[in-house]
Chain A
Amino acid sequence: MKLTYRWIREWVATELTPVELAERLTMAGLEVERLEALGHGLADIRVARVRSTRKHPQADRLTLCEVEDGTGLIPVVCGAPNVRDGAFVALAPVGATLPNGTQIRKAKLRGEVSEGMLLSEAELGLSSNHDGLLLLDGEPAPGRPLVEALGLDDWVLDISLTPNRSDCLGVLGIAREVAALTGAALTPPAIALVESGVAAAEAVRVEIEDVAGCSRYAARVVRGVRVGPSPAAVRWRLAAVGIRSISNVVDATNLVLLELGHPLHAFDLARVEGGRAVVRRARAGETLLTLDGVDRTLTAEDLIIANARAAMAFAGIMGGEVSGVHDDTVDLLLESAHFDPITIRRSARRHGLHTEASHRFERGTDPVGLGTALDRLAQRIVELAGGAVAPGVVEAVARPHVPQRIRFRPERARAVLGTTISDEACVGALDAIGIAVDPATFEATVPPWRPDITREVDLIEEVARIAGYDQIPAETADGVVLAGAGPGAAAGAQRVELARDVLAGQGYREIVRLAFTSPEVVARFDYPDGRAEPVRIANPLGEDTSVLATTLVSGLVETARAQLNRGATAVRLFQVARTHRRAGGKWPFREIESVAALGGGAQGRGAFPESTRDCDFFDLKGTLEILLERTGIKGVAFRPAADLQYAEPGRAGEIWCDDRKVGELIMLSRRLLGQLGIGLDLYAFELDLGALTPAAPPRYRSFSRQPVALRDLALDVPAALAAVEIERELARAKWVVDVELFDVYQGEGLAPGRKSLAFHVRFQHAERALTEAEIAGALERVLGDLEASHDARRR
């Protein structure tokens, strides 16, 4: 909400500067988000007086003027139709900059010299009116800065109000706060109405048919107004706070809304058919053309103001087009009412209408102060549009306001706040904001403009706020709570953090992607099986972010593509995050604690040949093995994966643990990557960390300190034989402690259909050194077995 500094000072006698005022309000919970000098951008503009005009000899539309700028007469060429001798105007002299950034230079227009520019309201940024020059009222001195002449030397405070502070949605509320915070006196303008003519009650009756929706409805009649434009001062004040000037009558309702925070409405009395204003629910299907020009079909829950025949206004939200104030309106019915916040909020949301009025009614308005607002409105209308106020207020009260009474315990306030604030200081703080506290019983009576205060804790907050949060000491709990209670939910979290560390240590960079993706991506990359449904968002920001990602690999590929497009030559990425799927049961979702990594291209740098090797399947597998080992997960097996649409055939593995598939290790399909415009081979794994149970912490086993004997063994075996078969058999031989395959060879020197496997085999005895003969014997025996079982021969 925007208000101006001068406006606030009309209501409270504060000596604070604009900056100080903003600071005090901010520190009291009324955050001033921005403080702007109003005449900003108009510093160069001066008052000038037109001294003579004559037609431009070469152009019909242009006028040659001589204007007095306080120092002398200067020639200005002007295109506005309303320029005339003697007018007081706004002049941008040569060298001036307009609010829109335009620089004024000495110019020749069709041969005539112009040493400045006369300005319209639009060019000054005061309104959208560019029909003609701004003509100043009175006789301001030429040469005077325009901002002074117009009273624009003001500041706009943009206050960000929290939803509980409906009382501060107007100048009065802010002034009350300033008075409470600084002790300055409130100086609200006096309201003095002169009533004349036929009593209002003769013209109209008001009825509340829907007691739940409206507790009080008050109306006045003003006869004989002349609808027209508002004076400049009113228009600029409204413009300063972001409200468009409509007409003097409508502007008056807005001025009072901004002053008192209470929404008001003016009907054309001639349109109040049957002389009745009835507050009732709409009939389902009833229609109303609202002021924004939309023909609305109402529901039986919408609250309206109706005349004897039809709906006139959308109660508390927006007036009707037909019943509203028009240029020919003469007599007015003014409304000031208290509507039920929830009713207004539901209707406003249902119809997508958020207005100044609904904003305030939703948050709760003052059911008592609405009378003052009504009187103030009548006064302002007469001031701005003339007319006479009919005697009397026509009013219906469905539920009289009952002041909220709350017991306040100063000791409770001290306990919650952790301060030593005295009883008197508590009572004084509450009293300053209009909350009367009985000194004997400590019963507090809440003023009607604070509907947010209903409980003792609300009073405690007010005490803290008015006393100042900086009065609360900063302490740390002294042994009140036992520190560091167990790992709890953190065990899972620790494993996830460890996974991050391992992958970063293995040379992968962590990425963070949004959790959203498109249905197409899910269809392309589903994991671990396409049967589980993704989680759809009912109100997504867009179709391409309408589901929650079911895999991380899809996102890693997307990031890899972006990085490669931006000039990266290799990628090594990982992400740790939850993926989501639909599930059965009462809580129909499953959250998977997923970890995924992706690699492609040569990552190394420098002049070493091995660093230019491209990342491959076994790089990713090695990373995965280290990840499993470091997170303490045992018993994981790899199995060839059946065809996966996103993996290269024959180059995909499934990761299994305890008879459950827990992930995949794949080379991404070249066809798919080609479609995505990626020319690099990519490899990836994704693992459901939550499904893996970490093994118990390692237990030390004693190891032999005896010498180890190394023997190299090259075997000539059938080409189709899996190396792991030989490896297993060698590992079972007597005294063998380690078998390591170090070479696989096929070709020259071997018969067709044969290959050579070379192993390092290490022998060790637990208690003593082995002799040459013992080792030779053991080797002999296992070679015999291998020849028999696998047709393996020593080379």
Chain B
Amino acid sequence: MAGLEAVEREALERLGAACDATAIEDVRVWALGRKAGRITGLMKSLREVPPEDRPRAGDAANRAKERVEAALDRALAERAERSTALPPIDVTLAGRRAPLGSLHPLTRVRRDIEQIFVSLGFRIAEGPEIEDEHHNFEALNTPADHPARDMQDTFYLGGEFLLRTHTSPVQIRLMEAERPPIRAIMPGRVFRRDSDATHSPMFHQVEGLLVDHRVSMADLKGTLVAFLRAFFGADTRARFRPSFFPFTEPSAEVDIGCVLCGGAGCRLCKGSGWLEVLGCGMVDPAVFQSVGYDPELVTGYAFGMGVERLTMLRYAIDDMRLLFENDHRFLEQF
């Protein structure tokens, strides 16, 4: 039927422009009004269509009418919804928040270290902070008259008791209590009688110990390189330098390529391009003898690191004292 499509299109266009109920009603009257409605008019003119075409034309006109009616109903319903909607809000207002807590950066880094070693099959062992000379020194091949005692200034508590200077006594306690294989890390607080910008009288260590048949320095290197890459990133370079600890032999210090300059030399690495991050070595036979292990039958490695050092490197903290001052402007950054 001539004009039906055009009328329907115009009705829908007018409806699209209608912004309130009155305008929608106007569209209804325009299209479907009893007297002057355009679609109504077209339906009336069906009588002029030849009888053989009439059913098809009537059908088309009815469907167009239904579509326009449905569109009108939809528009009205939407309109009604809009009129009962909630007033708008300022979505840029700050959210209502419960107070934000946080873990201390030392806790976060210690957990990262622990997690890496636990995933390598190490378990976590703990021991007392107050120790005796036997566990802290003698069993670790550091007799009273050895110059190596000077490496660690000690807080004494009277008699044989002292604040542990490292978490190594936990290694002794573990070996005294168990037979190999042993594969554990020992996190904890340690104490040294030393206090300045780069030394705190209390700090945190994570040490590790692995004892079994046929453990070699190559295993030690492999484990620590795996740790350093997990902690500092997959492209971390590491180097092992000979060093001395009374309780390991051979002993090594481990450097990583400077995290700040990448090895070119800067203030952080004092121009060397390397940062010392770990001490380690093969467990000294004298240590095994002190816990009743036969050094011909078992070998092992041990390592230790300062949590403060790794924390400072991870978060680019340039003054260790910040870690113990608990300034809110510092803690709020973690």
Residues of A within 8 A of B (CB): 26-29, 31, 34, 162-165, 341-342, 345-346, 362-363, 415-419, 455, 457-458, 460-461, 464-465, 469-470, 472-477, 480-490, 492-493, 497, 500-501, 503-516, 535-541, 545, 559, 562-563, 566, 568, 571-574, 577-578, 580, 588-589, 591, 603-608, 611
Check if A477 sits within 8 Å of B107, measured CB to CB.
Answer: no
Kindly specify which of B19-27, B69-77, B244-252 makes contact with the partner chain: B244-252
Check if B252 sits within 8 Å of A469, measured CB to CB.
Answer: yes
Check if B221 sits within 8 Å of A473, measured CB to CB.
Answer: yes
A-contacting residues, B176-207, CB 8 Å: 181, 183, 189, 191, 193, 195, 200-202
Kindly specify which of B46-54, B79-87, B145-153 makes contact with the partner chain: B145-153
B303 to chain A, nearest CB (A): 13
Known contacts A482-B181, A572-B99, A578-B129: does B123 contact A512 (CB below 8 Å)? no
Tell me, in angstroms, the Cα distance from A417 to B218 when the chains sit together: 6
Known contacts A29-B242, A163-B244, A469-B240: does B221 contact A535 (CB below 8 Å)? no
Check if B221 sits within 8 Å of A559, measured CB to CB.
Answer: no
Kindly specify which of B9-17, B59-67, B319-327 makes contact with the partner chain: B319-327
Task: Convert B195-234 into 0s and 1s, putting 1 for each residue whose CB lies closer than 8 angstroms to a CB of A.
Answer: 1000011100000001011111111011101100000000
One of B106, B122, B214, B242 near A415 (C-beta < 8 A): B214
Check if A611 sits within 8 Å of B96, measured CB to CB.
Answer: yes
Check if B212 sits within 8 Å of A480, measured CB to CB.
Answer: yes
Known contacts A29-B242, A580-B130, A606-B96: does B329 contact A477 (CB below 8 Å)? no
Check if B106 sits within 8 Å of A512, measured CB to CB.
Answer: yes
Kindly specify which of B28-36, B37-45, B155-163, B256-264 makes contact with the partner chain: B155-163
Check if A477 sits within 8 Å of B242, measured CB to CB.
Answer: no
Tell me, in angstroms, the Cα distance from A486 to B123 when the chains sit together: 8
Check if B193 sits within 8 Å of A539, measured CB to CB.
Answer: yes
User: A469 contacts which chain B residues (CB < 8 A)?
Assistant: 221, 239-242, 250, 252
Known contacts A29-B241, A477-B210: does B202 contact A418 (CB below 8 Å)? no
B284 CB–A CB distance under 8 Å: yes
Check if B128 sits within 8 Å of A539, measured CB to CB.
Answer: no
A164 to chain B, nearest CB (A): 5
A466 to chain B, nearest CB (A): 9
B138 CB–A CB distance under 8 Å: no
B94 CB–A CB distance under 8 Å: yes
Given contacts A481-B212, A485-B183, list 15 more A-B pairs with CB under 8 A.
Answer: A419-B217, A460-B249, A465-B242, A476-B222, A484-B123, A488-B124, A504-B102, A504-B103, A509-B102, A510-B104, A539-B156, A589-B157, A591-B128, A605-B94, A605-B97
User: A539 contacts which chain B residues (CB < 8 A)?
Assistant: 155-156, 193
Known contacts A511-B104, A515-B202, A537-B163: does B218 contact A472 (CB below 8 Å)? yes
B57 CB–A CB distance under 8 Å: no
Check if B147 sits within 8 Å of A363, measured CB to CB.
Answer: yes
A19 to chain B, nearest CB (A): 10
Tell me, in angstroms, the Cα distance from A458 to B332 when the chains sit together: 50
User: B325 contacts which chain A residues (CB < 8 A)?
Assistant: 562
A609 to chain B, nearest CB (A): 11
B6 CB–A CB distance under 8 Å: no
A-contacting residues, B128-174, CB 8 Å: 128-130, 145-148, 150-151, 155-158, 161, 163
User: A483 contacts which chain B residues (CB < 8 A)?
Assistant: 120-121, 183
B266 to chain A, nearest CB (A): 15
Known contacts A461-B249, A538-B158, A580-B129: does B242 contact A490 (CB below 8 Å)? no
CB closest chain-B residue, reference A485 = B123
Known contacts A419-B218, A513-B324, A514-B200: does B241 contact A27 (CB below 8 Å)? yes
CB closest chain-B residue, reference A480 = B212
Check if B323 sits within 8 Å of A512, measured CB to CB.
Answer: yes
CB closest chain-B residue, reference A476 = B222
CB closest chain-B residue, reference A574 = B101
Tell me, in angstroms, the Cα distance from A99 to B331 when the chains sit together: 42
Known contacts A415-B299, A418-B217, A541-B201: does B148 contact A464 (CB below 8 Å)? no
CB closest chain-A residue, reference B187 = A493
Check if A512 sits within 8 Å of B214, measured CB to CB.
Answer: no
One of A508, A540, A566 near B329 (C-beta < 8 A): A566
Tell me, in angstroms, the Cα distance from A480 to B129 when the chains sit together: 32
Check if B148 sits within 8 Å of A418, measured CB to CB.
Answer: no
CB closest chain-B residue, reference A506 = B101
A620 to chain B, nearest CB (A): 13
User: B326 contacts which chain A residues (CB < 8 A)?
Assistant: 511-513, 559, 562-563, 573
| Majority-rule SS of B interface residues | mixed
User: A562 contacts which chain B residues (CB < 8 A)?
Assistant: 325-327
B94 to chain A, nearest CB (A): 4
One of A416, A541, A573 near B299 (C-beta < 8 A): A416
CB closest chain-B residue, reference A165 = B244
Can you list 22 A-B contacts (CB < 8 A)? A27-B239, A162-B243, A163-B146, A163-B148, A460-B250, A461-B250, A465-B242, A469-B221, A474-B218, A475-B219, A476-B226, A484-B122, A486-B123, A490-B123, A500-B103, A509-B328, A511-B331, A515-B191, A541-B193, A545-B201, A562-B325, A606-B93
Tell me, in angstroms, the Cα distance from A605 to B94 when the chains sit together: 8
Known contacts A497-B111, A562-B327: does B126 contact A489 (CB below 8 Å)? yes
B125 CB–A CB distance under 8 Å: yes
User: A559 contacts which chain B residues (CB < 8 A)?
Assistant: 326
A15 to chain B, nearest CB (A): 22
One of A465, A484, A509 near B101 (C-beta < 8 A): A509
Tell me, in angstroms, the Cα distance from A330 to B284 when the chains sit together: 52
Check if A473 sits within 8 Å of B218, measured CB to CB.
Answer: yes
Instruction: Pick from A455, A464, A469, A591 the residue with the most CB of B within 10 Å.
Output: A469
User: A536 contacts which chain B residues (CB < 8 A)?
Assistant: 157-158
Check if B218 sits within 8 Å of A418, measured CB to CB.
Answer: yes
A1 to chain B, nearest CB (A): 14
Check if A608 sits within 8 Å of B96, measured CB to CB.
Answer: yes
B98 CB–A CB distance under 8 Å: yes
User: A604 contacts which chain B residues (CB < 8 A)?
Assistant: 96-97, 99
Instruction: Pick from B93, B118, B250 the residue with the most CB of A within 10 Å.
Output: B250
Check if B161 sits within 8 Å of A507, measured CB to CB.
Answer: no
User: B58 contacts which chain A residues (CB < 8 A)?
Assistant: none
CB closest chain-A residue, reference B244 = A162
Check if A465 sits within 8 Å of B250, measured CB to CB.
Answer: yes
Tell me, in angstroms, the Cα distance from A509 to B250 when the chains sit together: 43
B207 to chain A, nearest CB (A): 14
A55 to chain B, nearest CB (A): 50
Tell me, in angstroms, the Cα distance from A489 to B170 when the chains sit together: 11
Check if A416 sits within 8 Å of B217, measured CB to CB.
Answer: yes
User: B323 contacts which chain A residues (CB < 8 A)?
Assistant: 512
Tell me, in angstroms, the Cα distance from A492 to B187 when the chains sit together: 13
Tell me, in angstroms, the Cα distance from A163 to B73 when the chains sit together: 94
B92 to chain A, nearest CB (A): 12
Tell me, in angstroms, the Cα distance from A597 to B328 when the chains sit together: 15
Tell me, in angstroms, the Cα distance from A99 to B146 when the chains sit together: 41
Tell me, in angstroms, the Cα distance from A502 to B13 when the chains sit together: 60
Check if A500 sits within 8 Å of B249, measured CB to CB.
Answer: no
Check if B189 sits within 8 Å of A577, measured CB to CB.
Answer: yes
One of A164, A415, A501, A505 near B216 (C-beta < 8 A): A415
User: B68 contacts which chain A residues (CB < 8 A)?
Assistant: none
Tell me, in angstroms, the Cα distance from A29 to B102 when the chains sit together: 41
Tell me, in angstroms, the Cα distance from A66 to B250 when the chains sit together: 64
Check if A488 sits within 8 Å of B123, measured CB to CB.
Answer: yes
CB closest chain-A residue, reference B101 = A504
User: A163 contacts which chain B residues (CB < 8 A)?
Assistant: 146-148, 150-151, 244
Check if B130 sits within 8 Å of A342, measured CB to CB.
Answer: no
User: A578 contacts which chain B residues (CB < 8 A)?
Assistant: 129, 189
Check if B221 sits within 8 Å of A475, measured CB to CB.
Answer: yes
B100 CB–A CB distance under 8 Å: yes
User: A507 contacts which chain B residues (CB < 8 A)?
Assistant: 98-101
Tell me, in angstroms, the Cα distance from A572 to B99 when the chains sit together: 9
A511 to chain B, nearest CB (A): 4
Instruction: Pick from A418, A500, A545 the residue with the most CB of B within 10 Å.
Output: A418
CB closest chain-A residue, reference B151 = A163
Tell me, in angstroms, the Cα distance from A203 to B120 when the chains sit together: 71
